[in-house]
Amino acid sequence: MRLYDYVLSPSCYKVRLMAALSGVKLEIRPVDFHPGAEHRGPELMALNPGGSIPILEDGDLILTESSAMLGYLAAKAAPAWLGSGAPEETARIQQWLSFSHRLTASLGGARLHEMLLRPGDIGALQANGIAALRELEAGLFEQKMRGNRFLACDRPTIADIACFPYVALAPDGGVSLDPYPTIRLWSRALRSLDNFIEMPGIHRLHELKPEPRPCPDEA
């Protein structure tokens, strides 16, 4: 399975993260997204006329939407990440998978603008990002009231992986996460999963290391 990948792309990271969590080995094909704009070059445009990455290739299956890639990886190697199949849970998963595109457009757009000088209306991108974060905070809070720590149920699903990266990287685009306590708890829960992997700007949980002991001569 080959992933056309850019290290700084949150959408590509979704796929790398899902693969790591489900124990799938990916063949990484690095794409010079910045500064080379290789994703707009003839080779990649032939694979994905949409001109975006990630692209996942497995035999003659070519996927250009990260949500589909998450579904594929889970179905192949870790079906529990697709939820129980209960109607409401299935609906919530689909709801948040679709919602994740709003995060890409808003918070992702703000990040490209602020970090890689991509033209755009930064005020509108940030305002849309904040509106999406408020909706996510409310959704996660309601889930908590139902006794669920994650977006669709009490265990993580592909919906959480689809939403997590752009949210965690919101500060890169000048959008603070300080106002969203439930999002921060959810982010911690995801970052503490076994086999979690990092990307630049998304750190492992240093807080989960053993507590430092007092120095013997201070005690």
Ligand X SMILES: N[C@H](CCC(=O)N[C@@H](CS)C(=O)NCC(=O)O)C(=O)O
Contacts with another protein by CB under 8 A lie at 6-8, 30-32, 34-36, 38, 114-117, 171-172, 174, 200-201, 204
The CA distance from 203 to 106, in Å, is 22
For another protein, give the closer residue by CB, 4 or 180. 4
For another protein, give the closer residue by CB, 45 or 116. 116
Q: How far is CA 56 from the centre of its chain?
A: 16
Report which of 18, 13, 15 is spatially closest to residue 193, judged by C-alpha positions.
18
x/- letters, 35..74, toward ligand X (CB under 6 A)? ----x-----------xxxx---------xxx--------
Q: Minimum distance between the CB of residue 24 and ligand X, rounded to whole angstroms?
A: 17
Q: Minimum distance between the CB of residue 175 and ligand X, rounded to whole angstroms?
A: 16
104 binding partner (options ligand X, another protein, none; Cβ < 5 to 8 Å by kind): ligand X
**Interface pick for ligand X out of 56, 92, 104, 157 (rule CB under 6 A):** 104
30 binding partner (options ligand X, another protein, none; Cβ < 5 to 8 Å by kind): another protein
DSSP 3-state of 27: strand
Q: Where are the alpha helices (DSSP H) in the chain?
A: 10-21, 42-47, 66-77, 87-103, 109-116, 122-145, 158-168, 181-191
The answer to the question of residue 169 lying near ligand X (CB under 6 A) is no
Q: What is the DSSP string of 45-97?
A: HHH-TT--S-EEEETTEEE--HHHHHHHHHHHH-GGGG----HHHHHHHHHHH
Region from 7-15, 78-86, 139-147, 181-189 binding ligand X, contact rule CB under 6 A: 7-15
